[in-house]
Amino acid sequence: MKRNIVIPAAVTAVLLLVISGVRESRYTYETQPGGCVQVQGGGFAGRQYPGGMSMGTGTGGGLLFWVDQGGPELELTAEFPDRAVPVTVSLGELGGTDGTPVFVPADENYYKVWVDVSAQVMRTDVYRVDRRTGIRELWNSTYATEEVQAVPEAVPVET
């Protein structure tokens, strides 16, 4: 006499794991936000005359155009309680008639474009939880730079 045997899905899964030689992972992983640090700095944009530029008096001023890509890089550091994280941000450069217009006054001064930069550095912590003991430990942390803001302005320089 033949009998049909019904094997529950959980038993089938365990049997497949045993047959294939794959075991269930001992750990599970959880993520959670690990904090946020704001970094700030500034520097001169690229592609400028070393001594700056003058629009001359009586012209009403003029415009320089700044683009947020290329140019020199600004090195900043996000200080977390257990680690310093380096952050590199581009200061951009002057470029033709494309980009953000920066007003230069008409006076006897020479001007260069200075860029104020700020960014948020977000930390995400990854915790490893032992399925057997329930012990939870910090396993890894990742860092992402977000909300980069750059504001260009013309500043007088000494000649």
Answer whether 143's CB lies under 8 Å from 122's CB. yes
Instruction: Look up the pTM and report it.
Output: 0.78
For residue 128, the enclosing domain spans 26-157
Is 10 among the domain residues? no
Residue 4 maps to a domain: no
What proportion of the chain, given as a percentage, has pLDDT over 90? Answer: 76
Whether the per-residue pLDDT at 126 is higher than 50: the answer is yes
Q: What is the number of structural domains in the chain?
A: 1
Contact between 70 and 93 under an 8 Å Cβ cutoff? The reply is: yes
Give the model's pLDDT for residue 123: 96
Give the Cα separation of 5 and 3 in Å (integer): 6
Q: Report the mean per-residue pLDDT for the chain.
A: 88
Residue 12 located in a structural domain: no
**Residue 9 domain-assigned (yes or no):** no
Q: Say if 112 falls within a structural domain.
A: yes
Q: Does the residue 49 lie in any domain? A: yes
* CA–CA gap between residue 91 and residue 152 (Å, rounded): 9
Structural domain contains residue 53 = yes
Residue 4's pLDDT is what? 42
